[in-house]
């Protein structure tokens, strides 16, 4: 373990190295900024999208949505959090409920009405409704119930909530592919750039590192020095990327609606994961050049560095 004096000297050497190669330090910072921002944003959007679908399905509290033909799109929008109204409030809840009861549909747990007279997610209906919400027993099959309800209410259109949720999830696939692809490209770019920048830095400082080794610097000291010059800009860039990425998500109303599905603890956990992940990737990419620098022959390094 390094003594306190060694740690102070190491910190000063790292700082001097960063100041001497400002462009490469800025490049490392920029790479980490992009990688951490994209990685954090992708995690927030994907998790928020899943949470939105699950929450809306639970909030609706129905397995089947029954309505006159032409209202299926409005019913599906209830599962995405979009405004579904206005729709005519023209369903007789008592009549439709009686028809379902007379048909002895198996597995019906509850039948309620939803009024969508204005824009929004609707209100519980009394005698008249825009959409009928049917809750099934846990053991009941939605597909069987659909066939029986169609017979009980001829001409009605039925949306299975679970299937509609899957369809919405499929519609989100382009966003999912874009965010995951961007995250993968950003991490790959971070690996390539971190390794390249570290190799260039080591090559330019070959003579200096050889002299330090000849004067008694340990291999661990040289590895720590090399990694420090990579990870410190990466740390600053990753923090900036997470903050700027969060600001970008806040500007978009759609992205903001997804992120707000998460708790503050979850948001901070994703940010920490993106930060540590970016640092780990860049440190591992720089480890190879750092080890090569530490195991150079001191005299050969001095001679070849001239």
Q: Say whether both 211 and 277 belong to one domain.
A: yes
Helix (H) or strand (E) holding 133, with range, is strand 131-136
Q: Say whether both 12 and 154 belong to one domain.
A: no
Answer with the one of 130, 160, 190 that is the final residue of a domain. Answer: 160
Residue 58 has a pLDDT of 67
Is there a domain that residue 183 lies in?
A: yes
Is there a domain that residue 166 lies in?
A: no
Residue 60 has a pLDDT of 67
* Per-residue pLDDT tens over the stretch 73-91: 777 777 665 566 678 888 8
Q: Say whether both 46 and 128 belong to one domain.
A: no
Q: Say whether both 92 and 113 belong to one domain.
A: yes
* Per-residue pLDDT tens over the stretch 155-193: 888 888 777 666 665 656 666 677 777 778 888 888 888
Domain count, the chain: 2
Q: Say whether both 100 and 26 belong to one domain.
A: no
Indicate if the pLDDT at residue 8 is higher than 60. no
Q: Say whether both 13 and 113 belong to one domain.
A: no
Q: Say whether both 198 and 139 belong to one domain.
A: no
Answer with the one of 133, 160, 187 that is the final residue of a domain. Answer: 160
Q: Tell me the pLDDT of the chain averaged across its residues.
A: 79
* Per-residue pLDDT tens over the stretch 128-146: 988 888 888 888 888 888 8
Residue 72 lies in domain: 61-160
Q: Say whether both 45 and 85 belong to one domain.
A: no
Answer with the one of 117, 137, 160 that is the final residue of a domain. Answer: 160
Q: Say whether both 113 and 43 belong to one domain.
A: no
Residues 206, 292 contacting (CB under 8 angstroms): no
Report d(CA 197, CA 230) in Å as an integer: 8
Is there a domain that residue 141 lies in?
A: yes
Provide φ and ψ at 108, rounded to 5°: -75, 125
Question: Percentage of the chain surpassing pLDDT 90?
Answer: 8
**Ranges 70-74, 228-232, 259-263: which has the least confidence:** 70-74
Q: What's the CATH code of the domain at 156? A: 3.30.1360
Indicate if the pLDDT at residue 214 is higher than 60. yes
Segment 5-27 mean pLDDT? 71
Is there a domain that residue 118 lies in?
A: yes
Indicate if the pLDDT at residue 4 is higher than 50. no
pTM (2 d.p.): 0.67
Residues 131, 114 contacting (CB under 8 angstroms): yes
Is there a domain that residue 235 lies in?
A: yes
Residue 1 has a pLDDT of 44
Q: Say whether both 66 and 199 belong to one domain.
A: no
Is there a domain that residue 165 lies in?
A: no
* Per-residue pLDDT tens over the stretch 88-107: 888 888 998 899 888 888 88
Q: Say whether both 192 and 289 belong to one domain.
A: yes
Q: Say whether both 186 and 230 belong to one domain.
A: yes
Residue 205 Cα to chain centre, angstroms: 40
Is there a domain that residue 186 lies in?
A: yes
Report d(CA 221, CA 227) in Å as an integer: 10
* Coil/strand/helix, residue 29: helix
């Amino acid at each position: 373990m390094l003594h306190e004096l060694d740690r102070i000297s190491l910190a000063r050497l790292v700082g001097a190295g960063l100041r001497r190669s400002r462009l490469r330090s800025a490049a490392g910072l920029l790479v980490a900024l992009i990688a951490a921002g994209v990685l954090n944003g992708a995690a927030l959007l994907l998790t928020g999208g899943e949470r939105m679908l699950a929450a809306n399905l639970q909030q609706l509290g129905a397995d089947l949505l029954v309505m006159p033909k032409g209202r299926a799109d409005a019913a599906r929008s209830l599962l995405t959090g979009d405004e579904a109204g206005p729709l005519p409030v023209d369903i007789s809840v008592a009549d439709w409920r009686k028809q379902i009861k007379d048909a002895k549909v198996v597995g019906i747990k509850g039948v309620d009405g939803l009024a969508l007279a204005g824009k929004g997610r609707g209100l519980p209906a009394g005698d008249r409704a825009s959409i009928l919400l049917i809750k099934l027993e846990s053991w009941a099959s939605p597909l069987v119930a659909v066939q029986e309800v169609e017979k009980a209410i001829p001409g009605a259109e039925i949306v299975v909530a679970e299937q509609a949720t899957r369809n919405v999830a499929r519609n989100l696939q382009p966003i999912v592919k874009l965010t995951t692809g961007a995250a993968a490209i950003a991490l790959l770019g971070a690996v390539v750039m971190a390794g390249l920048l570290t190799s260039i830095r080591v090559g330019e400082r070959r003579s200096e590192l050889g002299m330090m080794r000849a004067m008694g610097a340990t291999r661990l000291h040289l590895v720590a020095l090399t990694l420090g010059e990579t990870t410190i800009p990466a740390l600053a860039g990753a923090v900036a990327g997470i903050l700027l990425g969060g600001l970008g998500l806040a500007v978009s109303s759609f992205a903001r609606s997804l992120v707000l599905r998460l708790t503050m603890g979850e948001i901070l956990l994703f940010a920490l994961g993106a930060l540590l992940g970016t640092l780990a990737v860049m440190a591992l990419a720089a480890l190879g050049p750092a080890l090569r620098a530490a195991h150079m022959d001191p005299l050969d390094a001095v001679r070849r560095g001239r």
